């Protein structure tokens, strides 16, 4: 079936509906939903029952880049800085050194095993060197895994931040494949520019986005998430334009925003959570359509060998060596190495050699696709069992729901206080977002004129309001009282 203007909406909506319904039911039996999306895409393709003729790597790459923007940004918004801060060094080590070691060790294996050149082998290793944010976020959260000793934020920080490193390595070795007369030192300036500019741009655009959100009066709550989408793409494209890594920039930007006081923050985060799921489904369906099963069969044997080596050797080498100087129990290290899920990101990166006209690009793409499927199927279905076996999972009675909304209002508090706002108080006629409250205190409700108001960042405090404030300790509540009265902490 050829996609036309007349049937594209029908086909797309039917595939989307099928993916959601079948994926939900399949998950009950332990099958990762992302794998279902891929399979549905393949079945709908030109070699499947749907007979949809889709063979456009450029369009697939465009869909992939747009989808990864939403997925990484949503993951960044859900990253709680207080949770991440204790394991920041481990996360950075895994997302940089760990990715580099995984890529080089797997590339060396491919070079020995096949007739690929050393640069082609390293290109393949680079493409599958990072864990996939979409796969890790969706599987960990869907399974509601409660893990010990900051293990879960470590995994989510790594998966959200290591795609930029894999992207830089992919582009670097692709350049060397196309220009074999160059050497590794020639790509070092490109590597440094990508990472440094990407990091600085992400932080800078984060501060700018916060300023715009809180200062610009749009009048309609629903417009704020739309504006954030525009600012997200500006962050990505502007960073890329000046030579930085756009994926790194949007993730850092989102982490910064997720830990700041923003007007209509809850609405923004909830919308991004839904959009991230939509983009995951669209991305996996598109990549499934792009794959021709008949071309996968010839590389099954080689793909299985490479996949096994990646899971059992290359990924553990990257994890254990990058965490060598950190104090961590062996069981935790092994579990991190097992949560090396490959998903959509490697398949998206595999379209770059296709578009560049690399001789073995088709073979690389099919191997990468096979690796991603086996990784999600083997590792994704065993995360819960392995967590219990390695004793890194919390007992059921000790589980605390993991927040999908980083607003402090969703976290349990142990102290509460009602604060009366007098006419002479500093807080009168000021929006909550301007009050500079302590991070671990929130206004849960406002009693005003005999009724209760559930506030957000844009709610303006009025004289004679009674604020119901929640926090972790009584001392913080006393600080809040001083802040409301005088504006000082």
Q: Residue 138's pLDDT is what?
A: 63
Span 83-88, mean pLDDT? 85
Distance between CA atoms of residues 64 and 72, nearest Å? 12
So what's the pLDDT on residue 250? Answer: 93
Tell me the mean pLDDT in the region 27-49. 71
Strand partners, 320: none
The average pLDDT across 290-294 equals: 84
Has residue 407 got a pLDDT over 50?
A: no
* pLDDT reported for residue 171: 92
**Buried-state track 44-57, b at ≥16 Cβ within 10 A, e below 16:** bbeebebebebeeb
Let me know: does 469 contact 440? Beta carbons within 8 Å.
Answer: no
Q: How much is the pLDDT for 126?
A: 95
pLDDT reading at 408 higher than 60: no
pLDDT of 244:
92
Residues above pLDDT 90, as percent of the chain = 31
Name residues whose C-beta falls within 8 Å of residue 286's C-beta, 6 or more positions apart in sequence: 41, 54, 59, 60, 63, 64
Percentages of the chain per state (helix, strand, coil), in multiples of 5? 65, 5, 30
The arithmetic mean of pLDDT across residues 458-470, rounded, is 86
Q: What does the pLDDT average to over 237-257?
A: 93
Whether the per-residue pLDDT at 330 is higher than 60: the answer is yes
Among 2-16, 86-100, 151-165, 286-300, top mean pLDDT goes to: 86-100
Is the domain 8-398 a CATH 2.60.40.10 member? Answer: no
455 falls in which pLDDT band (50, 70, 90)?
A: confident
CA distance 231 to 212: 9
Q: Which residue has the higher pLDDT, 354 or 155?
A: 354
E strand or H helix that includes residue 445: strand 441-448
Query: Which of 88-102, 139-153, 221-235, 430-444 has the lowest average pLDDT?
Result: 139-153
Q: How far apart are CA 360 and CA 304, in angstroms?
A: 18
pLDDT > 60? residue 405: no
pLDDT band at 125 (very low <50, low <70, confident <90, very high): very high
Give percent above pLDDT 70 in the chain. 87
Stretch 12-28: mean pLDDT? 68
- pLDDT band for 288, please (50, 70, 90 cuts): confident
pLDDT reading at 229 higher than 90: yes
Return the minimum-mean-pLDDT range out of 44-58, 149-163, 286-300, 395-409.
395-409
The CATH architecture assigned to 410-486 reads 2-Layer Sandwich (3.30)
User: Is residue 210 over pLDDT 60?
Assistant: yes
Q: What is the largest CA-CA distance in the chain?
A: 80
Structure confidence at residue 133 as a pLDDT band (50, 70, 90): low
Domain chopping of the chain, boundaries: 8-398, 410-486
Of the listed ranges 18-27, 59-68, 226-235, 453-462, the one predicted with least confidence = 18-27
pLDDT at 412 over 60: no
Q: At residue 183, does pLDDT exceed 50?
A: yes
What pLDDT shows up at residue 41?
82
Are 232 and 250 in contact by the 8 Å Cβ rule? The answer is yes
Mean pLDDT of 135-163: 72
Q: Are 338 and 387 in contact (CB under 8 A)?
A: no
Spatial distance between the Cα atoms of 206 and 298, rounded to a whole number of angstroms? 47
Computed over every residue of the chain, the mean pLDDT equals 83
Of 199-208, 215-224, 280-289, 417-426, highest mean pLDDT: 199-208
């Amino acid at each position: 079936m050829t996609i036309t203007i007349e049937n594209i909406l029908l086909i797309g909506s039917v595939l989307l509906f099928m993916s959601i319904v079948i994926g939900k039911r399949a998950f009950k039996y332990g099958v990762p939903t992302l794998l279902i999306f891929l399979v549905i895409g393949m079945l709908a393709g030109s070699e499947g029952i749907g007979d949809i003729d889709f063979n456009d790597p450029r369009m697939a790459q465009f869909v992939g880049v747009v989808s990864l923007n939403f997925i990484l940004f949503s993951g960044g918004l859900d990253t709680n800085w207080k949770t991440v801060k204790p394991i920041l060094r481990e996360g950075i080590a895994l997302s940089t050194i760990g990715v580099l070691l995984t890529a080089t060790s797997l590339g060396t294996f491919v070079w020995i095993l096949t007739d690929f050149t050393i640069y082609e082998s390293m290109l393949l290793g680079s493409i599958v060197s990072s864990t996939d944010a979409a796969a890790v976020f969706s599987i960990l959260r869907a399974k509601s895994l409660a893990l010990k000793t900051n293990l879960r934020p470590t995994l989510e920080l790594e998966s959200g931040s290591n795609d930029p490193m894999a992207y830089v390595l992919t582009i670097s070795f692709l350049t060397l494949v196309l220009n074999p007369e160059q050497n590794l030192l020639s790509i070092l300036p490109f590597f440094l520019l990508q990472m440094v500019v990407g990091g600085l741009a992400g932080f800078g655009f984060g501060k700018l986005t916060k300023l715009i959100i809180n200062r610009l009066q749009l009048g309609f709550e629903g417009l704020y998430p739309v504006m954030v989408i525009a600012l997200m793409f500006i962050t990505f494209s502007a960073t890329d334009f000046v030579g930085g890594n756009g994926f790194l920039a949007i993730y850092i930007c989102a982490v910064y925003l997720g830990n700041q006081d923003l007007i209509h923050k809850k609405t923004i985060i909830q919308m991004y959570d839904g959009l991230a799921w939509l983009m995951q489904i669209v991305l996996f369906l598109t990549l499934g359509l792009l794959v021709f099963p008949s071309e996968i069969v010839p590389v099954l044997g080689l793909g299985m060998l490479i996949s096994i080596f990646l899971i059992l050797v290359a990924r553990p080498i990257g994890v254990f060596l990058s965490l060598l100087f950190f104090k961590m129990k062996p069981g935790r290290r092994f579990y991190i190495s097992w949560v090396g899920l490959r998903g959509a990101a490697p398949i998206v990166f595999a379209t770059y050699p296709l578009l560049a006209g690399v001789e073995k690009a088709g073979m690389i793409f099919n191997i990468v696709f096979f690796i991603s499927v086996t990784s999600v199927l083997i590792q994704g279905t065993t995360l819960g069992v392995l967590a219990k076996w390695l004793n890194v999972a919390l007992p059921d009675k000790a589980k605390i729901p993991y927040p999908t909304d980083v607003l402090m209002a969703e976290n349990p508090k142990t102290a509460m206080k009602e604060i009366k706002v007098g006419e002479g108080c500093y807080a009168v006629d000021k929006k909550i977002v301007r009050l500079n409250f302590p991070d671990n205190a929130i206004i849960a409700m406002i009693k005003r004129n005999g009724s209760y108001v559930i506030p957000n960042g844009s709610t303006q405090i009025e004289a004679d309001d009674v604020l119901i404030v929640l926090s972790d300790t009584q001392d913080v509540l006393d600080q809040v009282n001083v802040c409301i009265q005088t504006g000082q902490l």
